[in-house]
């Protein structure tokens, strides 16, 4: 189902950009290569890149009418997620594949291990459940339970097992003292969560799909939260690795609003115009650093596709043949997830 969501997003995104399903025949390989993994509706750097490619007719060469090209550009400027392709699907599936073995092990009914009770984890779950509007006697009980007290009791009994030792009539007093000691600890101040967007060079396009780099994983893993995944994102100079994780998450599990809120985009146009001068400086700096190696990055991306571990190898009972170069370049015009013989959940 995750791959169906991704295929559906590929189809819907490119139909939206082109204006109709019939117009998908005008999508060329250069357009896919230049636009995949970019998000012109959020990143001004990506927006400027798309505009340059449209103006110099580097992409969509079969569309010769100037007004039609302008319409395509306007659509591109409203796409608020990474533009997907067959290649990005192949690469991003590598992100899910390592999750399969532990998940299969966890659901093995013949041999399982009962995890020890974790008072703090259950308390956090109850707090979160109440925040989301859930209510039950068990949720209320866990919510009102002091996890520090539960941990203190467990620590005392682990240190001196009841079958061998007796704390005497002062046990409750001892528990209270240990609990009070826990509460004297002060949280260590850490850096704030990484922003979804930055005002300088963000995540390179070459790093926006495929396996996650260890440095970005260590930085972002604690911030892939419901709030960060679902919150509205304002347009900025460029996107960060956390925004990439958010976009890949939605690609596999579906968007609540696939193509964003066009009205919200229109309302932000005035603010975006005010930032044009700053963007010029950013783009000039970016071009100075990146123009020379842009072709090399693209070539490397496509040369590496053959090690892409066929997208569906990790799925039970079904396999997707490797996508060859020609299909990858023209895949958008031929993919229609609505023809897949299964039910697609609406999000």
19 and 50 both lie in a single domain: yes
Could you tell me if residue 195 is inside a domain?
no
What's CA 328's distance to the chain center, in Å? 22
Both 30 and 156 in a single domain? no
Residue where a domain stops, chosen among 183, 218, 239 = 183
Helix H, strand E, coil C: the string for 84-141 is CCHHHHHHHHHHHHHHHHHHHHHCCCCCCCCCCCCHHHHHHHHHHHHHCCCCCHHHHH
Tokens representing 252 are: 């596999």
**Residue 217 and residue 335 share a domain:** yes
**Over the Cα atoms of the chain, what is R_g?**
26
In a domain, 233, yes or no: yes
The answer to whether the beta carbons of residues 6 and 251 sit under 8 Å apart is yes
CA distances from 116 to 111, 119, 152 (A): 16, 10, 15
Q: Tell me what pLDDT residue 42 has.
A: 94
The CB density around residue 162, as the number of other CB atoms within 10 Å, is 9
Say whether both 85 and 116 belong to one domain. Answer: no
> Is the same domain home to 223 and 326?
yes
Q: Evaluate whether residue 240 is within a structural domain.
A: yes
Which long-range contacts does 258-263 make (Cβ < 8 Å, 24+ apart)? Answer: 258/9, 258/12, 258/13, 258/16, 258/81, 259/12, 259/13, 259/16, 259/78, 259/79, 259/80, 260/41, 260/78, 260/79, 260/80, 260/81, 262/78
Say yes or no: 95 and 220 in one domain. Answer: yes
Tokens of 65: 């009418």
In Å, how far are 110, 111, 303 from 107, measured between CA atoms? 9, 9, 37
64 part of a folded domain = yes
> Does one domain contain both 94 and 207?
yes
Is 194 within a domain? no
The pTM of the full predicted model, rounded to 2 decimals, is 0.61
Residue 238 host element (H or E): strand 238-239
List CB contacts of 233: < 8 A, sequence separation 6 or more.
42, 80, 196, 197, 243
Residues 322 and 211 in one domain: yes
Note whether 95 and 113 are same-domain residues: no
Domain that holds residue 262: 2-101+203-339
For 150, the token pair is 């539960």
The reply to whether 31 falls in a domain is yes
In the structure encoding, which two tokens stand for residue 301, read together? 């991306």
Structure tokens that stand for 79 in this block: 């796409």
Same domain, 262 and 328: yes
Is residue 188 a part of any domain in this protein? no
The gap between the terminal CA atoms of the chain, to the nearest Å, is 13
Per-residue model confidence (pLDDT) at position 91: 95
**Going residue by residue through the chain (347 aa), what tens digit of pLDDT does each one get?**
889 999 999 999 999 999 999 999 999 999 999 999 999 999 999 999 999 999 999 999 999 999 999 999 999 999 999 999 999 999 999 888 887 787 777 676 666 677 788 889 999 999 999 998 999 999 999 999 999 999 999 999 999 999 999 999 999 999 999 999 999 999 887 666 666 777 777 899 999 999 888 888 888 888 888 888 888 888 999 999 999 999 999 999 876 554 444 434 444 444 444 444 444 454 555 444 444 444 444 444 444 444 444 434 444 333 333 344 444 444 444 445 444 443 333 33
Q: In 3-state terms, the chain is what percent helix, strand and coil (to 5)?
A: 60, 0, 35
DSSP string spanning 161-209? -TTT---GGGHHHHHHHHHHHHHTPPPPP-PPPPPSEESS--S-GGGSS
pLDDT of residue 97: 84
- How many domains would you assign to the chain? 2
How far apart are alpha carbons 12 and 45 in whole angstroms? 23
Supply the pLDDT for residue 323.
40
Of 45, 5, 10, nearest in space to 236 by CA: 45
Cα torsion for 37, 209, 334, 49, to the nearest 10°? 20
Locate 14 and state its tokens: 């490119």
**Chain centroid, CA 141 distance in Å:** 34
The answer to whether residue 192 sits within a structural domain is: no
Same domain assignment for residues 69 and 209:
yes
Structure tokens at 208: 């926006």
């Amino acid at each position: 189902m995750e791959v169906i969501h991704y295929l559906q997003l590929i189809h819907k995104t490119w139909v939206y950009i082109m204006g109709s399903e019939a117009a998908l025949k005008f999508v060329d390989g250069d357009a896919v290569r230049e636009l995949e993994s970019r998000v012109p509706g959020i990143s001004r750097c990506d927006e400027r890149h798309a505009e340059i490619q449209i103006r110099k007719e580097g992409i969509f060469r079969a569309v010769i009418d100037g007004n039609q090209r302008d319409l395509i550009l306007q659509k591109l400027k409203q796409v608020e997620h990474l533009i997907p392709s067959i290649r990005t699907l192949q690469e991003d599936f590598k992100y899910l594949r390592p999750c399969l073995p532990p998940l299969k092990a966890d659901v093995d009914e013949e041999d399982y291990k009962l995890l020890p009770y974790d008072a703090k984890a259950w308390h956090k779950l109850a707090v979160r459940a109440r925040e989301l509007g859930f209510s039950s006697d068990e949720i209320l009980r866990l919510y009102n339970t002091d996890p520090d007290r539960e941990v203190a009791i467990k620590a005392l009994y682990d240190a001196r097992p009841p079958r061998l030792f007796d704390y005497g009539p002062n046990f409750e007093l001892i528990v209270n003292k240990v609990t009070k000691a826990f509460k004297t600890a002060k949280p260590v101040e850490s850096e704030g969560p990484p922003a979804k967007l930055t005002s300088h060079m963000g995540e390179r396009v070459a790093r926006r799909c495929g396996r996650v780099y260890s440095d970005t994983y260590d930085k972002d893993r604690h911030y892939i939260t419901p709030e960060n995944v679902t919150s509205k994102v304002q347009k900025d100079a460029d996107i960060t690795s956390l925004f990439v994780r958010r976009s890949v998450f939605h690609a596999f599990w579906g968007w609540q609003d696939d193509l964003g809120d066009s009205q919200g985009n229109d309302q932000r146009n005035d603010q975006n115009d005010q930032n044009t001068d700053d963007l010029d400086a950013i783009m000039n700096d970016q071009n100075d650093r990146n123009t020379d190696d842009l072709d090399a990055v693209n070539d490397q991306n496509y040369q590496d596709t053959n090690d892409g571990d066929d997208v569906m190898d990790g799925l039970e009972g079904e396999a997707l043949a490797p996508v060859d170069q020609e299909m990858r370049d023209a895949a958008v015009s031929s993919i229609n997830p609505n023809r897949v013989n299964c039910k697609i959940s609406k999000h």
